[in-house]
Amino acid sequence: MARDVRHEMAAGAARLLAQRGLAGTSFSTVLELTGAPRGSLYHHFPGGKDQMIHAAIELAGARAIGALEDMAGSSPVQVTERFLALWRTVLEMSKLSAGCAVLAVTVDTDSDDLLDATATIFRAWRQQLAALFEQGGIAGEPAGRFAALLIASTEGAVVFSRAERSMEPFELVATELGEQVRRLTR
């Protein structure tokens, strides 16, 4: 089977973004991580680094959406637990050295195009979560508000845990979010 070098490079860039941020993600570091041939850079990303970063965050965003695809009809508690489990796994598997590639780009780019791309990804997450919460019984506006709260709180908890090099902040936030979603579903 042929290698999908473009996909490998985007996946490598997403991993580097999650671990090192935008400044630590260069063509050189992506090539080193993926073993892709140098000539493939401009073949697959003729628009330069921003095009590669765009592909990486699209991939990262799609992975989060994909983790929730089979949740239609699940309870809001189950959806919340799945979303939290996704980020808990990122922290645990990386030994607290990785976070969210989309957030990493959001806080470090001065590119309007990349900011627009991150906004689109966060909006898609929020809309998907809100729809799942509504399907699970949280009506209208509270579903949207809790979706935004879940994303923002989880992102903050990931950063907090990485800074403290401890799962404790994440677990404190996860517990509180679990309590809040249970209150919304009573």
User: Per-residue pLDDT tens for 124-159?
Assistant: 999 999 999 999 999 889 999 999 999 999 999 999
Backbone angles phi, psi at 36, to 5 degrees: -70, 145
DSSP-assigned letter for residue 165: T
- Give the tens place of pLDDT for each residue, 3-26: 699 999 999 999 999 999 999 999
Give how many domains the chain has, as a whole number. 1
159 half-sphere exposure, CB direction, 13 A CA radius: 13
Structure tokens, 10: 């985007």
Structural domain harbouring 127:
5-184
- Gap between the Cα atoms of 156 and 162, Å rounded: 10
pTM for the full model?
A: 0.94
∠ CA(49), CA(106), CA(124), 5° rounding? 105
* CATH number reported for the structural domain that contains residue 37 in this entry: 1.10.357.10
- Gap between the Cα atoms of 104 and 84, Å rounded: 18
- Gap between the Cα atoms of 96 and 161, Å rounded: 7
